[in-house]
Every structure is written in structure tokens, then in C-alpha cells.
Amino acid sequence: MDTPFTRTIVTREQWVEGAWAVRDAGGRLVTLWGSDNTDRGAGFAVMAAFVAAGGVRVLELSLAAGEPYPEIAGLFPAAGRMQRALHDLLGLVAEGARDTRPWLRHGAWREGEFPLRRDFDASAARNNAPADYRFVRVEGDGVHEIPVGPIHAGIIEPGHFRFNIVGEKVLRLEERLGYVHKGIDRRFAAFAIGEGHRLAGRVSGDSAVAFQWAYAQAAEAAAGAEPPPRAQWLRALMLERERVANHLGDLGALGNDAALAFALSQFMRLKEDWLRLNAEAFGHRMAWDRIVPGGVDADLTGPAAARMLEQADAIEAEVRVLREIFDESSSLQDRFITTGRLTPDQAHAFGVTGLAGRASGQAFDLRCDMPCAPYGELAVRKVVFDAGDVAARVKVRFEELIESLRLIREIVRRLPPGELRRELALPPARAFGVGLVEGWRGEAFVALEAGEGGAIRRCHAHDPSWHAWPAVEHAVIGNIVPDFPLINKSFNLSYSGQDC
């Protein structure tokens, strides 16, 4: 079991006390989700996963039909949107919640219907009739409102951003997401446990390795299994290559958004070469479907290993030159420094992890703090800054990119021999497991409960964008409207993962 966890059935009082205890101890909320157990004669359940004391702590509260659960957004602000989504999907009500507007409900299902309930008829015909959404209004002399999206000029996913401004200065930003809700949690129930990694890898395509690994961890924990050592090292290799690919793409896009088009062409050239070697080595540019419960489904040959070592050296040399160009470009630094600042206190309040969190003083990196094999043997260097602006998020990317190239070289050179995969024994019904992996964007989480005969009864996937999207609303305040695309790109959050 890679991710140490506990699962505790609690009372209403213990639900609140447990959340308080985690917050007071400096822990953080990972996610909220729920389950319909009416087919077992047990009503519903709401679950919360926290990171505390070097492991994951899952609290489970049973609820009768119509019974609310105590809200926890007052302790963990990012829970507000999760509570709203939980109501949209299961009809569970957070008692005392300040914001009860729908979050994922865009008219795709009728009032009084809840897609994760056992009695939901997914085949029934429905008319998409979205209702008006109550955006918060800001009024006063000279205040204007700018709606942006949900359809954008670029080839990106949909999201609605409502700005309130004076002149070009942003007073307030409110987001509305959920437009690409895909019903992944419900879809998991159509898979066997040995197959679910394929769907997990599509929660957010740029984090396919992280979610496949988190799913595999959860399945292996439920089955009491452990993958072979070579598979563990190959998983880390794929994860670090995913991190490098995304940092290369983001650095190019950030340079382009600050009018340095040269950066986009150079970094995207490097990223394309990187992904082509992924395809050569693993059979897929994004390593989709290559991490499976019990191990991996692709090996690294000698020639591909040699190419990886050569490529890591070559790309590091070019990245160092490009970083000098970034650092010495006064116009670029003028756009980056102080822009879109997320303070350490704000990042802590929302539980922001990953590169955005580490750029705002949040010294969390699961590869160091809760290392799964083989990271305990690799001595990962944690990269943390506290300025919290675009410049800091750029620095984190450069530093982590260089560190990942070092890790890749070490993994390739130390890759142990042996088998790639062990067959996973079918876990018993009600067996439970979680997985938590440090993806390039932040912590990818999967919780899995086994059903009868190796089926998936309930699986919940959670992207770190849930915590960072509300933080963006704060980071943009006081900036000018033309800087929003740059600020947004410096976080580069997932719509698809948030809306899954």
C-alpha cells in the first residue's frame, strides 16, 4: 500500500470534531464525496479525505434519506464548491452552508434528479434547459461588469468568468465552471476494478499518469497487493516525464502571453521531441493506459533508455539557456513580478497544493512528505518560494523541470530488473482503498470501494484544481484585466478535472 490511510465511521459530532482537529493540526482537506447505499438499506454516506500526520484520514458519516450533514466550508473554504457539487450529484445537503447555488447542474438533468443515486435513469430523454445563475453583483460609481466565456477565443475548455472592474482594475472575479461535467464517478461503476485505470487516466488528460497511478494505488490497497519493484520505478519515470512535458508547454505559453513568442516556439519544439520519445518508449505520447493495477503495461528497452539519458542532458542545456533569456528580459519580468499574487495565507486557506502552492509558501510535495516507492530512495529536492506571483510560479516550473530531469537520469540508471506486473486478486466486496500522487499540477486523489465479483461499486477522482480555482479569484484582485490571461495560465488549472 503506497498511500497510508485510515477510514473511520463517525457520528455527526465526530465529523465536526475531526475536521476541527485536522485544521488545528495544520492538515488540509483533500476532497468531499458521497455514496448512495440505499440498495443496502443503509441510506447515504458523505466522506471527507484529509491529509494529516503523514497519511490520509477518511471520515465517513452515514445519513438517512433527507438528513443533512454539517458543513465544513467554514473551516476549509475550498469545501464550498465541493458541497454544492455533492448536492447536485446526490442531493445531500450541507447544513449551515452559505452558498447553495448549483455547481455542476447546467440543465442536463431535471430538478429533483441526482445522477449518482441508484434510482437515476440515465437513459431517459431530457431537455437541456439551463436556468439563470445568480452571480454576485458589485455596484458603485464607475463599476462595470465584463462577462468572459464560457466559450473562449482559443481552443480551450469552457469556463465563465465574471469580472467587476473600475477602469481596468479588477475589483472582483467570480467563476462558474462545470460545463464539461462528464459523469466520470458514475461511469466508473460500469468497469471492473482491473479496468478502471483507463477511465482514471482520462479525468484530466495532461495528468493521465498521476491519475492512473492514484487509481492503481487505490485498487492495490483494496486488494492488499503490491506491484513489483521494476513497475514502481517505471511509474516514477512516467510521472516525471509527464511533469517535464507540462512544464515545458507552460513555460512556452507563459512567454507567449507576455509577448515573447520566441519562447513558445522553442519550448514547444522541446515538448514535441519529449512526447515523441514517450511514444517510442511506452507506445503512447501521454503514457495513457500504461499504469495498471498490479504494475505497468510497458517496459523500457535498452535503446530507449539510452535515448532518454541523452535527451535529458540535451534538454537541460537548452532549458538553462532559455531561463537566462527569461531572467534577462526586462519586459518579461515586468509582466511577471508582482502580477497575480496569491499570498501564503490565501494559499493555505484554500489548501492549494502542487506548483501553485509551492510558489506561495506551501511546502507540500508528496514525493518528499509521503513518498511512495521509489521516491523514498531518490531524495527529491523540494522547490518552494513565497512571493506567490506569476514570477514565482515560473521559477517553480524551471526548478522542478531541472530536478525532474535529474530524477529521470537516476531512475533510468537504477531501474531494477524483474517482472512488470502481478495479477491482482479480486478484493472482497466493500474493500476500500485510496491513492494520492504528486502530479505535476498537484495532488491527484482516487478513492475506490469494491463491489461484488470484482466490480467497482464507487470510485471518486479528485483533481487539485478544485482548490486552486477559487484561489485564482483572489490572485486576480487589484490587477488589470489584460493580465488575467497571464495569471490564469500561470496556474494552468484543469477544467476537465474540476468538472469530472
pLDDT for 403-453, tens place per residue? 999 999 999 999 999 999 999 999 999 999 999 999 999 999 999 999 999
Secondary element (H or E) of residue 343: none
Q: Which residue, 78, 104, 130, sits at the end of a domain?
A: 104
Tell me, what's the pLDDT at 1?
Answer: 56
Q: In CATH, what number is assigned to the domain containing residue 471?
A: 1.10.645.10
Is 132 domain-assigned?
no
Asked whether the CA dihedral 186, 191, 193, 195 is positive or negative, the reply is negative
What residues contact 361, with CB distance under 8 A and at least 6 apart?
344, 347, 348, 384, 385, 386, 388
pLDDT for 240-297, tens place per residue? 999 999 999 999 999 999 999 999 999 999 999 999 999 999 999 999 999 999 999 9
pLDDT for 336-355, tens place per residue? 999 999 999 999 999 999 99
- In the structure, what pLDDT confidence band is assigned to residue 500 with cuts at 50, 70 and 90? confident
- In the structure, what pLDDT confidence band is assigned to residue 152 with cuts at 50, 70 and 90? confident
Q: Are residues 335 and 447 in the same domain?
A: yes
Q: Are residues 295 and 410 in the same domain?
A: yes
Q: Are residues 189 and 302 in the same domain?
A: yes
Contact yes or no for 449/223 (Cβ under 8 A): no
Q: Are residues 472 and 352 in the same domain?
A: yes
Per-residue pLDDT at 155 exceeds 90: no
Is 456 domain-assigned?
yes
pLDDT for 463-483, tens place per residue? 999 999 999 999 999 999 999
Torsional class of 91: left (φ above 0), alpha (ψ -120 to 50), beta (otherwise)? left
Q: Are residues 205 and 339 in the same domain?
A: yes
Is 114 domain-assigned?
no
Q: Which residue, 59, 76, 104, sits at the end of a domain?
A: 104
Distance CA 465, CA 178 (A): 12
What residues contact 157, with CB distance under 8 A and at least 6 apart?
179, 180, 495, 496
What is the pTM assigned to this prediction? 0.97
Give the alpha-carbon dihedral of 19, 21, 25, 27, to 10 degrees: -20
* Among 6, 175, 82, 172, CA closest to 460: 82
Q: Are residues 251 and 362 in the same domain?
A: yes
Q: Are residues 197 and 85 in the same domain?
A: no
Per-residue pLDDT at 12 exceeds 80: yes
pLDDT for 88-113, tens place per residue? 999 999 999 999 999 998 888 888 89
b/e map of 13-44 (b: 16 or more CB within 10 Å)?
eebbebbeebbeeebbbbbbbbbbbeeeeeeb
pLDDT for 108-145, tens place per residue? 888 889 999 999 998 888 887 777 889 998 889 999 99
Q: Are residues 196 and 94 in the same domain?
A: no
Q: Are residues 76 and 216 in the same domain?
A: no
Tell me, what's the pLDDT at 345?
Answer: 97
Is 173 domain-assigned?
no
Average pLDDT, the chain: 95
Is 137 domain-assigned?
no
Mean pLDDT of 57-70: 96
Is 176 domain-assigned?
no
The total of structural domains in the chain comes to 2
Q: Are residues 192 and 95 in the same domain?
A: no
Q: Which residue, 104, 127, 152, sits at the end of a domain?
A: 104
Cell numbers representing residue 353 in the block: 497544493
Tell me, what's the pLDDT at 131?
Answer: 76
Q: Where are the beta strands (DSSP E) in 42-159?
A: 44-52, 55-63, 69-70, 94-95, 143-148
Q: Are residues 358 and 484 in the same domain?
A: yes
* Among 152, 150, 286, 149, CA closest to 210: 286
User: What is the distance in angstroms between the CA of the first residue and the CA of the last residue of the chain?
Assistant: 26
Is 120 domain-assigned?
no
Per-residue pLDDT at 63 exceeds 60: yes
Domain that holds residue 337: 184-498
Is 80 domain-assigned?
yes
Q: Are residues 188 and 97 in the same domain?
A: no
Q: In CATH, what number is assigned to the domain containing residue 2?
A: 3.30.460.80
Per-residue pLDDT at 237 exceeds 60: yes
Contact yes or no for 304/280 (Cβ under 8 A): yes
* DSSP annotation of 297: S
pLDDT for 182-218, tens place per residue? 999 999 999 999 999 999 999 999 999 999 999 999 9
- pLDDT above 70 covers a percentage of the chain that reads 100
